[in-house]
Amino acid sequence: MTITGLDFGVIEPALPFLLEGLALSFFLTAAAMLGGIVLGLALAVVRLSRWKVAAILAAGYVNGFRAIPLVLVIFWFYFLVPLALGRSVGALQSVIIAFILFEAAYYSEIFRAGLKSIRSGQWQAAYASGLGYFQALRFVILPQALRNMLPLMITQAVVLFQDTSLVYVISLRDFMTSASIVANHDNRLIETYLFAALVYFVICAIGAASARKLSTLRRAA
């Protein structure tokens, strides 16, 4: 296995260990997406609503989170959530909350753009037929908006997947942290980090390609 002095033999025995880390990365991505989408949709709906005060608060939330680095949010919640609750929570719980709240700000912007992309005549047609606001949103506007938004949502998920590597700051073992442990333990930094880069590249390339494919499909439709 030796090519130009590199020894990739260290990877194989470490695979189960690395997979555990990868599982955490995927889990965090899924949890943050799910929570972020639900909260993000609510924020977008409030921002586009007639409730002025709520809209301003939602805008403040979104702009606030988008102005802070994610790593800082992770740190804060690790220390703040236990303070707020008066008892300690695990690092995992605090990081899930941090990710959801952070991602919601970004998903909210995607939703807002998606909802605004639907022309007002569709709202009028829905209202004219007697549908209420939330019925119009659910049956008429959102299905169309989601179709427009899907490529952007996948792109956001790709970024999110990469961002899960930041959990190293509170000593959670995601894929990147696992790779780093293996690299230092076996003193094979170049090989391990090359392998890690390859894994990130393949996963993210698949995501990016499917986003591209979806957006061309949408244009053809």
Partner 1 sequence: MTKALAQTPRASAEIVEMTTSVRTSPGSESGIPMVEISGLYKSYGGLEVLKGCDLVVDRGEVVVICGPSGSGKSTLIKCVNGLEPFNRGTLAVDGVTVGDRTSDMTRLRARIGMVFQHFELYPHLTVLQNICLAQVHVLKRGKVDAQAKARALLARVGLPDKEGAYPAQLSGGQQQRVAIARALAMDPVAMLFDEPTSALDPEMIGEVLAVMLELARDGMTMIVVTHEMGFARKAADRVVFMDQGAIVEIAPTQRFFDEPRAERAKLFLSRILSH
Beta bridge partners of 2: 7
In three-state secondary structure terms, 145 is: helix
Q: Please, what is the minimum distance in Å from the beta carbon of residue 11 to partner 1?
A: 46
Nearest-angstrom CA–CA distance, 207 and 213: 10
d(CA 180, CA 203): 19
Encoded tokens for 62: 């979104």
| Residue whose CB is less far from partner 1, 93 or 135 | 135
Q: Which residues in the chain belong to E strands, given as ranges?
A: 2-3, 6-7
What x-and-dash track marks residues 142-161 binding partner 1 by CB under 8 A? Answer: -xx--x--------------
- Number of residues in contact with partner 1 under rule CB under 8 A: 18
In the complex, minimum distance from the CB of residue 138 to partner 1, in angstroms, rounded to a whole number: 9
CA neighbours within 13 Å on the CB side: how many for 83?
A: 6
Within 110-149, which residues bind partner 1 (CB under 8 A)?
Answer: 121-122, 124-132, 135, 139-140, 143-144, 147
Q: How far is the CB of 42 from partner 1 (least distance, A)?
A: 22
Instruction: Give me the least distance between CB of 126 and partner 1, in Å please.
Output: 8
CA distances from 213 to 17, 151, 206 (A): 33, 8, 10
* For partner 1, the closer CB: 50 or 87: 50
Q: Which amino acid is at 14?
A: A
CB nearer partner 1, residue 147 or residue 173: 147
How near is the Cβ of 107 to partner 1 at its closest, in Å? 21
Is the CB of 140 or the CB of 166 nearer to partner 1?
140
Taking CA atoms, 5 is separated from 155, 205, 211, in Å, by 37, 29, 38
Q: Does 13 bind partner 1 (CB under 8 A)?
A: no
Show the tokens assigned to 206.
Answer: 């698949």
Comparing CB distances to partner 1, the nearer of 43 and 126 is 126
Give the tokens for residue 215.
Answer: 């957006």
Instruction: State the nearest-atom distance from the C-beta of 13 to partner 1, in Å.
Output: 51
Token pair of 205, please? 């390339």
47 residue type, one letter: R
Q: Note the residues at the interface with partner 1 (CB under 8 A).
A: 121-122, 124-132, 135, 139-140, 143-144, 147, 221
